[in-house]
Structure 1
Amino acid sequence: MKRVLATVAIGCLTLAGCSSGEFKGVYDLPLPGGADLGDHPYSVTVQFADVLDLVPQAAVKVGDVPVGRVREVRLGGDGWTAETVVEVNGDVVLPANAVARLRQSSLLGEKFVELAPPDAAAKPAAAGRLANGATITLDRTNRNPEFEEIFGALSLLLNGGGIGQLQTINRELSKVMDGNEAQIRSFLSGVDTLMTDLDAHRSDITEALDGLNRLSATLEHRHEQVSGALTDLTPGLQALSEQRTQLVSMLQSLDRLSTVATDVVDRSRDDMVADLRALAPILGQLAAAGKNLPQSLQMLPTFPFPDSVLGAVKGDYINAYASMIPAPGVPLPPPGQGVPPGLPTLPLPSSGTRVSSGGS
């Protein structure tokens, strides 16, 4: 029986080497119970920051179901990233932005690559499908912590870590909180109110941040203008800096002037109030004159003639009405008989003026 099994194993090795053309060792042997790749498998390159001890022929799973295997593990072109080439059954459909995780079957079990759609809450699945030759980049891969890493961190914590200080921390927290329950409760209530208000004004905060973003973008587009303005301000600021002593002296002089002016106003306040009170009757009479005063002032330049004579032209006619009252004891002549002796004559206006007279 053992001889038959050995013969079968040798035959399998021979077939594997013949089918691939070159036998590279035990990594070329498919694992028993591996996934069926089907007639048309497709290959995908997966980038990992740390591939750990993943080996070729390891399983590739989707939802804990084997759908492929690892064909090759190699170093990336940047010299830091590990690249894993996996083959997946052609009937398995994954979105174009599928993610990959390096997991292990049990606590001390073998490593395998898990393919899955992206988390719907973080990023929705893409419309296309994962195609042959696609690459799952480093930002869409991760790995679970190793068992050795967990025990190493636990050992660091237990040996010289922070366990010994937990009692001290607990004791100091008790001292702080003992007797200050009301203040702590008030503080937590204030924090709750603050967070509630911030949440209520979330849209305003977002709008303010958007406004700052727009302002920053505008300033970025006007970088040359801002730089030019700052450059042009430099001589002015330099001049102000050089004249700082004179500016300070001017401000001090203004301070002394204001002090003197305040003292003068305080001392002359009573006299000023008395003068204003003395002006009050005059201003009252001027106000009572109303519109008569402006009309009288209009007559002053042309006295004794009104404004109508201003439009007269030399040689034209102007109607003037004059009333003459004779002196006491001087009789008036009958109409049409001239001027009696002793009565002064009224000089007539210049040529071209018609004067109408009447007596009373």
Structure 2
Amino acid sequence: MTRLCARALQRWLAVGGCVAVTVTGCSFDGLNSLPLPGTVGTGSDAVVYHLRLANVGTLESNSPVMVNDVVVGAVGRMTVTDWHAEVDVSVQPDVVVPANAVATVGQTSLLGSMHVALDPPVGEEPTGRLQPGALVPLQKTSTYPSTEQTLSSLSVVVNGGGLTQIGDIIENFNAALDGRQDQVRSLITRMNDVVGILDRQRENILTTVRALHRLSETFAGQRDTLTAALRRIPEALDVLDRQRPQIVTAMQRLGEFSDTATQLIDETQGDIVTNLRNLEPTVRALADVGPDLATALSFLPTYPYTQEFIDRGIRGDYMNQFIVFDFTISRLKSGIFLGTRWGEPGASLVPAPGDPWYSTYTRDPLMAPVTPVPDQVATMPPLVEAPAEPAPAEGGN
């Protein structure tokens, strides 16, 4: 009897193995490659789209697909082709994916999971509907920087940003512009006028840039002609040699212009020095808090712990923690808002769940029940009318 049971068990295991190999296509990429129960947009009637991504980061199968910050589907099969990722996503059949949608890989939060967003470009309204089975090309996909990349860039700014050198810069500016305040002020005023003129001529400048773009396209189409012209440059150099007196005269005029510009700078240096001296207290204060600012920024990625506590107190790659955030109005008024217009010293604190005295808290200051309404209420006494005044006698004075 025992042998028969063993043989039956072996047969069932063999059949189950064959079915598993057949269903998975003779390969198995882990449990995450299979549709998870309860995943949105993985039913038999789901709509499938194909994405081409240059970088998927830590995106995995069964990651959520979002439209307008709402989960509408899940990531399916992921493969690599020609140094880019081919990703299949499935969404619910009643979800309208805009025809101008772009695919973006991002994180739900600083330490959250990865997801794929199918939204129209920033500043554009959604138009049309993406047809089932459509392909979103590589130029319409992107990936947000990861948390590691952001923190790495921030560390470069903090450690090598040169905040402690602002004091030296201020001292050098003072030495270079001392006694030239009036000239610098005049120069800044004129620069402001020039910037205003450029702003008013913005459309003309854009038109000029477009014309230059068309000119460059014309040059590209006349490449052979330009090559022939370059071969004739020696003849042009002979012409320039014959025009040497005129060129010398032009250089002399340029020297006169340089003298005028130098005089302008000399006349406005006083204004510049005055402005920089007025900025000195602000910049000096920033230089004084430079080391503290660097310390605060280095503490920010590991808040609420310091790096020293993490190195000594946490043995491993994770830790369990229970935190209660109290955002009640009374707690905010007596805490983070204290000292501002919304602060209130000595505000009555309402306990939050987790406080030791939360279960015994009552809003009755006397810790007593409310007095019930009396059963009988005294009636009001009747009103007594005042006696009328006697009428005056006839014939009286």
TM-score of the pair, normalised by structure 2: 0.46
TM-score of the pair, normalised by structure 1: 0.50
Larger RCO (alpha carbons 8 Å, 6+ apart):
2
